[in-house]
Structures are given as structure tokens and as C-alpha cells.
């Protein structure tokens, strides 16, 4: 999937989590930001991605060592670890849990979307308590990144959904 699709899905699901766990508009906004950012992080193993360009040395190392989607960044364990920094705004400012929950959901959305592509993912790889056959199984679909009309429809739907959530939460609190 393209970065815009991951970002849009993370923003929508993060805004949804933020509106459910957060405090009105601020919870929705924190959720959209945390979910969108966390949804882009697993692609740090690809130097051409948004996260890969920001963290270039790490990105080059991950791609040379494992390759895109075979690195530890496309696993559930990475998503949980990458969501930890989003707990800081939760503790300092929001006190609702929305940014952390949104980051976890945004990161998981990345793995779920990549599991629909032909390359697939192995999301359980580093969780030793999971049976080996599940850890090694590649979950894949039949979509080609950037070539499927479905990807663009999903992206548009996620962006529209995010805008609606933000507007609804804003109107409930300020109008």
C-alpha cells in the first residue's frame, strides 16, 4: 500500500479511537495525529517512504539487513513498541489514553493493509509464545501497491471519514 493510504487509514482509525476514548475535539485531533503518524512508522524499513526519509540511516540499515516488509517493523511487536512514545502526550496533556490507543490502532492498520498486498507480511514473527507455524506464515492478498483502484477508493473514504469525524466532534463541542 502507498504511504497516503496508510496515513489516511491511521488518521481515520485514530480519530475514531480519539473520539471514543478522548475528550471531544482534542481527543479526536490527538487520535488522528497519533494514528496517522503510527501508521507510517512500519515503513521505516523503506528508504523512499516518509518515515524512511526522516530516519534515513536506520532505514537504509533495515532495508539492507532484512528488506522491505521482512524487517521487524512490520510486526505486532514493533507496533506496540512504537506506540509507547504516544503515551507521553496521554500522560502529560490528555489523560484519556486516546493517543496511545490511536497509535496502536494506526500501526495495526498498516499491517492489516499490507497483508492485502501480494508481498504480504508476517505480523507475529517475534512473538515466541505464538505457535511457530503462525509466526512463519505470510499473510497476503492479491492487491498490487499503487495499482489497484480499490486502494484509491479506500484512501478517499478514510480521508472523508476523518473530516466527518473532526467536523462532528467540533460541532458537538463548539457550536
What are the tens digits of pLDDT across the range 88-132?
877 777 667 788 899 999 999 999 999 999 999 999 988 889 899
pLDDT at 60 over 80: yes
User: What H or E segment, with its residue span, contains residue 112?
Assistant: helix 98-114
Characterize 92-130 residue by residue with b for buried, 16 or more Cβ atoms within 10 angstroms of its Cβ, and e for exposed: eebebbbbbbbbbbbbbbbbbbbbbbebbbbbbbeeeee
In this structure, is residue 56 part of a structural domain? no
pTM score > 0.75 for this model?
yes
In this structure, is residue 65 part of a structural domain? no
On whether the CB atoms of residues 44 and 69 are closer than 8 A, the answer is no
**Mean residue pLDDT across the chain:** 89
In this structure, is residue 133 part of a structural domain? yes
Euclidean distance between the first and final Cα of the chain, in Å?
A: 38
Three-point CA angle 147, 156, 119, nearest 5°: 35
Q: Taking residues 162-175, what's their average pLDDT? A: 79
Q: What is the pLDDT of residue 148?
A: 87
In this structure, is residue 36 part of a structural domain? yes
In this structure, is residue 67 part of a structural domain? no
Q: What is the pLDDT of residue 99?
A: 86
Count how many domains the chain has: 1
Amino acid at each position: 500500500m502507498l504511504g497516503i493510504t496508510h496515513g489516511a487509514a491511521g488518521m481515520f482509525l485514530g480519530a475514531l479511537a480519539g473520539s471514543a476514548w478522548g475528550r471531544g475535539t482534542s481527543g479526536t485531533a490527538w487520535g488522528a495525529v497519533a494514528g496517522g503518524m503510527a501508521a507510517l512508522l512500519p515503513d521505516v524499513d523503506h528508504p523512499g517512504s516518509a518515515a524512511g526519509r526522516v530516519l534515513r540511516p536506520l532505514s537504509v540499515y533495515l532495508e539492507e539487513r532484512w528488506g522491505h516488509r521482512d524487517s521487524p517493523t512490520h510486526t505486532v511487536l514493533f507496533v506496540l513498541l512504537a506506540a509507547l512514545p504516544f503515551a507521553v502526550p496521554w500522560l502529560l496533556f490528555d489523560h484519556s489514553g486516546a493517543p496511545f490507543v490511536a497509535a496502536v490502532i494506526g500501526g495495526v492498520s498498516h499491517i492489516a493493509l499490507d497483508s492485502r498486498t501480494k508481498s504480504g507480511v508476517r505480523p507475529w514473527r517475534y512473538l515466541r509464545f505464538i505457535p511457530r507455524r503462525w509466526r512463519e506464515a505470510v499473510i497476503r492478498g492479491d492487491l498490487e501497491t499503487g495499482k489497484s483502484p480499490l486502494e484509491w477508493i479506500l484512501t478517499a473514504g478514510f480521508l472523508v471519514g476523518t473530516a466527518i469525524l473532526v467536523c462532528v466532534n467540533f460541532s458537538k463541542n463548539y457550536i
